[in-house]
Structure 1
Amino acid sequence: MMMKKTVLTGLIMCGMVIGASAQAPAQSLGKNDPKAKVVLDGVSKRFKSLKTVIANFILKVEGANNSVNDTKKGSVYVKGPKYKVIMDGQEIISDNKTSWTYAKDVNEVTISNVDQSNSSMTPAKIFTNFYDNDFLYRLNGETTEKGKVLQNIELTPTDKSKNFFKVLVDVDKKNQTLARMKVFEKNGNRYTYEITNFTPNGAVKDDLFTFDAKKYPGVEVVDLR
């Protein structure tokens, strides 16, 4: 149960709580690369121009010393600051005021108020300008995979107390969207999020971003508000 919650939270937090070698040093990149900023700003501008986003993803979990090797599939729906993430019997929903975290295996939902501080990370921020205040970044070049040109960017957190020390981001150069993100934790874990399908301006109803307990018979409610 704890592992599942950590993995799902990791997606929402853009790897802020998850990622490779415990012996690897948390070195700073020194200063930001203007070429990388152009790429990241392009992703942010593209996302902000969209009314909604629907994306499917694959999460690959690699534990330190090969202790864990797992793959999970999921989907994320975003409409402005509202979002819903679905993955392996788990859901995280937010209407930007209230958040619901549902675990199917125990039929339990936890309700809390949304943290409105600038430090909080949401799917919307993952696709926009989360990088400017929290990271140093540089462009490491380009690679080609399955006919797509990917721009490879390395980010390191400015706050060295974080439990991760590096994030690698691959951007689809043509479509200006995130293709893959790999997070490296100090404890040796690595988490790779790969976007397998990205649908801009898909049909998303507002009621998707609230939790309807009537649809979950017998659900146990833990209200932390």
Structure 2
Amino acid sequence: MMKKIVLVGMLMGGVVLSGMAQTRGSLGQNDPKAKTVLDNVSKKFQTLKTVVANFVLKVQGGNNSVSDSKKGTVYLKGSKYKVSMEGQEIISDNKTSWTYAKDVNEVTINNVDQSATTITPAKLFTNFYDKDFLYRLEGESTEKGKTLQNIEMTPTDKSKNIFKVVLSVDKKNQNIAKMKVFEKNGNQYTYEITSFTPNTAVTDATFTFDPKKYPGVEVVDLR
């Protein structure tokens, strides 16, 4: 579940930032320099009708105990999304969500709870993140010929398993380039966008699960 939440949050790119770049209010003040970066990315992404992005997820366990790398693709159209990874698909039309596991040929169906505290694309247009994170601009770095603006986010709720998130924004293109998530148990998850295609043709059928395309699939309906 943690991977699902973080993955969706990261790969929505600037849509995430439309919530994070708000004024914090009574909980404290966010870094105005970071707010400027986030606002610029947010404005760009709000003009996009669809997004298709390829990514690499790198997982490192505490004390380097586990190391893994997976490729995937995310499709986004408004509040609808589909995440395809090796052996797994996560689909939502903002009313129903489907999580498919290839190894057991099983799909789990749930209603999308709009009032839940989990991070979903439907909430990324609101100030949801603003209520849960403080952020500041750490500085700039250069990777693969790109200048990255690195923003550190820390949850206001210190009981959360995630204690820090670092967002890296491509300064030139104002796109999310990378996100690194740090857990208290030592696990680290790095999501790197390898390609980003805006306003490509994505049909609504992409955001529903068709069991006919998965012969013999076991359906676990939790609605």
Q: TM (normalized to structure 2)?
A: 0.86
Letter in 2 for 1:98: T
Residues 20-35 of structure 1 aligned to structure 2 (within 5 Å): 31-35=29-33
Give how far 1:193 is off. Answer: 0.4
Offset at residue 146 of structure 1 (A):
2.0
* Contact 1:8–1:87 under 8 Å retained in 2: no
Over 6 Å off, 4+ runs:
none
Counterpart in the other structure of 1:84: 82
**How many Å apart are 1:47 and its aligned residue?**
1.3
Cα distance in 1 for partners of 2:206, 2:57 equals 23
CA contact (8 A) 1:180 1:192 kept: yes
**Which of 209, 212, 215 is the aligned partner of 2:213?**
215
- Tell me if structure 2 keeps the 8 A contact 1:84–1:91: yes
Pairwise mapping of residues 66-81 of structure 1 onto structure 2 (< 5 A)?
Answer: 66-81=64-79
Structure 2 residue identity aligned to 1:217: P
Deviation at 1:120?
3.1
> Which amino acid counterpart does residue 75 of structure 2 have in structure 1?
Y
What is the aligned partner in structure 2 of residue 46 from structure 1? 44
Per-residue CA deviations over 1:105-133 (Å, capped at 9, x if unaligned) read 00000000002127331246669865322
Structure 2: 5+ residue stretches without partners: 12-27
2:201 aligned with 1:203? yes
How many residue pairs were aligned? 208
Which residue of structure 2 lines up, in the alignment, with residue 180 of structure 1? 178
Alpha-carbon deviation of 1:79? Answer: 0.2
1:159 and 1:9 mapped to 2: Cα distance?
Answer: 17
**Does 2:164 align with 1:166?**
yes
What's 2:190 paired with?
192
TM-superposition CA deviations, 1:155-188 (whole Å, max 9, x none)? 0001111101000110011211110000000011
RMSD of the TM alignment (CA)? 2.2
The Cα shift of 1:14 comes to 4.7
Identical-pair percentage: 75
| Structure 1: gaps (5+ residues) | 16-29
Equivalent residues of 1:14, 1:123 under 8 A apart: no
State the one-letter code of the partner of 1:173. Answer: K
Q: Which of 130, 148, 151 lines up with 2:149 in the alignment?
A: 151
- Deviation string for 1:48-86 (max 9, x for gaps)? 110000000000100001110111100000000000000
Distance 1:119 1:48, change over 3 A: farther
Please give the TM-score of this superposition, normalised by the length of structure 1: 0.86
**Structure 2 SS opposite 1:56:** strand
1:137 pairs, out of 124, 128, 135, with: 135
Greater CA drift, 107-116 or 129-138 = 129-138
> Any idea what the Cα deviations from partners look like across 1:7-57, whole Å, max 9, x if unmatched?
445413559xxxxxxxxxxxxxx7410000111112221111100000000
